[in-house]
Structure 1
Amino acid sequence: MLEVAAESNRILSVVGQNRFLDPMMKLKHTLDSGLLGKIVHAQVDSFWWRGHSYYDLWWRGTWEKEGGGCTLNHAVHHIDMLQWMMGMPQTIQAVMSNTLHDNAEVEDISIAVLSYPNGSLAQVTSSVIHHGEEQQLIFQGERARVSAPWKVYASSSKENGFPERNPALEAEIELYYNSIESLRYRGHAGQIDDVLKAIENNSLQVLIDGNECRRTLELITAIYEAATTAKPVSLPLTKESKFYSRESFLANAPHFHAKKKSVAAFGTNEISLGGNYGQS
């Protein structure tokens, strides 16, 4: 798809609507402002909860049909936002398990640690076993921490190295965050607007192009490889990786359980979506 887009000189944009939420856009700009100093640690909690029957639906719970478990199908947007804000790591270590859904081949929790070239670390938990579905991204900087949902806390060092709160820096960061103009369109509408503007301006520049999508998928693939092999995985992935192609991925993915039940549909179509990160 990337090759065809380049050859035909056309826009390729992949859905990542959560980037077009005010809390995420403002958080990204705040991180880029340099007010926090070096970002040294990120914590991504992609917490969801799904009952046992969730994987009874015919296409869920198998590597062949669903492509993966919570890491791919629930945490993908959080992982996308992490790589948008922090860039690509150098190595990934991970573990995963299926703790509560014995009607699915795939994982219902994974925990990954990402190491960056500058020494910074990030941890990502992808889950469908967390009650309350509390979702957040927290970034610890050299001078302060910020997060979505929005919260800021800044520390200064006493003479003996112990912390004291820095309200002046907190106020400066708050002022910067609140000065960022709110988006005219949010979520899917915001991304559609981004693509339409590119078309109107005869530009190929969109916030989420094919290369951005590939990076997010590469991170997820590396998490699966690291968790399956119990070895650190270096990025970028090469074609020698046993998880590089769909065929080799399916051949090497672990099967936690056999899918025991398959239903065509559920009696109710009511679903829950992720958090709004404090957005009104």
Structure 2
Amino acid sequence: MINIAIIGTGAISSSHVKGYLQFKDECKIVALCDIYPDKAHQKAKDYQLDVDIYDDYKELLNRPDIDLVSVCTPPYTHAEISIAAMNAGTHVLVEKPMASSLEECHAMNEAAKKNKRILSVVAQNRFTNPMMKLKQVLDTKLMGPIVHTQVDSYWWRGYSYYDLWWRGTWEKEGGGCTLNHAVHHIDIFQWMNGMPAEVTAVASNASHDNAEVEDISIAIMKYDNGALAQITSSVIHHGEEQQLIFQGKNARVSAPWKVKASKSKENGFPEDDPQLAEQIQQVYDRLPSISYEGHTGQIYDVLLAVNGKKDVLIDGKQGQQTLELITAIYQAANTGKTVKLPLTKEDPFFTREGILTHAKHFYEKKNVVENFSDNTITTGGKYE
């Protein structure tokens, strides 16, 4: 039996609780921790959990019986808590974003390596049938080389969203929509398409003058082979339509799923290629569905890894690559210069201190509330 502790009992922790409860034969939640103990007690009551409650994660980590912790705290605390947990001999599933800086990512991966512990970074949108199937279709290369990718990470958040005490600041949230919302789609993008060679970007705050951080950014990425990609990260898009479109030389595929194939007439104008489109569609239709989706799917993946049955799909190195791409977007948007990848320790946005020094404040934070009475959230990822 794998003993689970959850550190941080805010809104996203419910997805972890529900996930672990799906596997009662494999694991048991034995402890909850939050700096606001009343929240932890309420969470235990909501899910009828027989657990110990802590207000200090360091005290929790003194327990020798904890096998795996879910870190569901604000982003600026992820590195400290995850490293302490791994040093205490515990495996870690840490919420997105992995950390506030690439320097912290490196330290987390070093701790995982030194302690021979599993470090998995939440990217629950990979664990959806549309994304798993799209990835496998792309791996067939039937589309030909990918020449352009379009990522629309569209979300909508009201003005009061940034009133929560830790949101909307570079110090505590680490960034805006690019880091904390589009991280899902940027992770999928780099998983499916690989890392680009350079990034150019702009960012703005168009609707939230109670936040230091951006509420929209647009990045253009270039690969060594000349292929381009564009990523829009936003919390100002009504409807929250989210999509990834991969244009190959022979065909396009996307999530939500759509396939279109064209071939050239003698004069260079397009005509449909129904044979290729049907071939790609048949591949997609034959792919099996995964048993568990979202957080539950990733938790199942981590539990299998803890039991030695597989490697995690999303380890610390994958999480680091995603944050590296996000960091490059921030550096490019703030400096007005194209950024070359990979980033190095000399880059101004490599460390948390560098980010705090160089990141533009669009506005200063105005309002502060400790907690909202309504903790319901949406996590996107329907791809319909």
User: Where on the TM-score scale, by shorter chain, does this alignment land: which range?
Assistant: over 0.9
> What is the root-mean-square deviation in Å for CA atoms of aligned residues?
1.2
What is aligned with 1:117?
224
Unaligned runs of 5+ in 2: 1-107
Deviation at 1:202, TM superposition (A): 5.5
Q: Does 1:77 align with 2:213?
A: no
Deviation at 1:10, TM superposition (A): 2.4
Deviation at 1:90, TM superposition (A): 0.5
**For the residues of structure 2 that align with 1:154 and 1:195, how far apart are their CA atoms?**
37
> For 1:56-105, what per-residue CA distance to the aligned partner results, in whole angstroms no more than 9, with x for missing partners?
12111111111100000110010000000000110000000011111110
What is aligned with 1:25?
132
What is aligned with 2:150?
43
**For the residues of structure 2 that align with 1:20 and 1:234, how far apart are their CA atoms?**
30
Q: How does 1:90-105 map to 2 (within 5 A)?
A: 90-105=197-212
TM-score (norm 1): 0.96
What is aligned with 2:86?
none
> For 1:166-193, what per-residue CA distance to the aligned partner results, in whole angstroms no more than 9, with x for missing partners?
1111111010011111101111121122
What is aligned with 2:66?
none
**Which letter does structure 2 place at the counterpart of 1:208?**
I
**Comparing 13-22 with 1-10, which one deviates more in the overlay?**
1-10
3-state SS of paired residue (2:121): coil
Deviation at 1:53, TM superposition (A): 1.6
What is aligned with 1:67?
174
**For the residues of structure 1 that align with 2:217 and 2:123, how far apart are their CA atoms?**
21
Q: How does 1:219-238 map to 2 (within 5 A)?
A: 219-238=325-344
> For 1:193-229, what per-residue CA distance to the aligned partner results, in whole angstroms no more than 9, with x for missing partners?
22222233365x2210110000000000010000000
Matched positions, count: 277
What is aligned with 2:259?
152
3-state SS of paired residue (1:63): coil
**For the residues of structure 1 that align with 2:181 and 2:309, how far apart are their CA atoms?**
34
**For the residues of structure 2 that align with 1:183 and 1:112, how far apart are their CA atoms?**
32
What is aligned with 2:120?
13
- Corresponding residue to 1:162 among 269, 276, 288: 269
What is aligned with 2:159?
52
Q: How does 1:185-264 map to 2 (within 5 A)?
A: 185-201=292-308, 203=310, 205-264=311-370
**For the residues of structure 2 that align with 1:264 and 1:115, how far apart are their CA atoms?**
42
**For the residues of structure 2 that align with 1:248 and 1:169, how far apart are their CA atoms?**
49
TM-score (norm 2): 0.70
Deviation at 1:271, TM superposition (A): 2.6
**Which letter does structure 2 place at the counterpart of 1:260?**
K
3-state SS of paired residue (1:13): strand
3-state SS of paired residue (2:119): coil
3-state SS of paired residue (1:55): helix
Q: Does 1:273 align with 2:379?
A: yes
**For the residues of structure 2 that align with 1:161 and 1:202, how far apart are their CA atoms?**
52
Shift in alpha-carbon separation, 1:241–1:67, aligned structure 2, 3 A: same
What is aligned with 2:249?
142
Deviation at 1:51, TM superposition (A): 1.4
**Comparing 49-58 with 64-73, which one deviates more in the overlay?**
49-58
Conservation of the 8 A alpha-carbon contact between 2:125 and 2:381: no
**Which letter does structure 1 place at the counterpart of 2:316?**
G
> For 1:147-172, what per-residue CA distance to the aligned partner results, in whole angstroms no more than 9, with x for missing partners?
00001111010000000011111111
**For the residues of structure 1 that align with 2:213 and 2:281, how far apart are their CA atoms?**
42
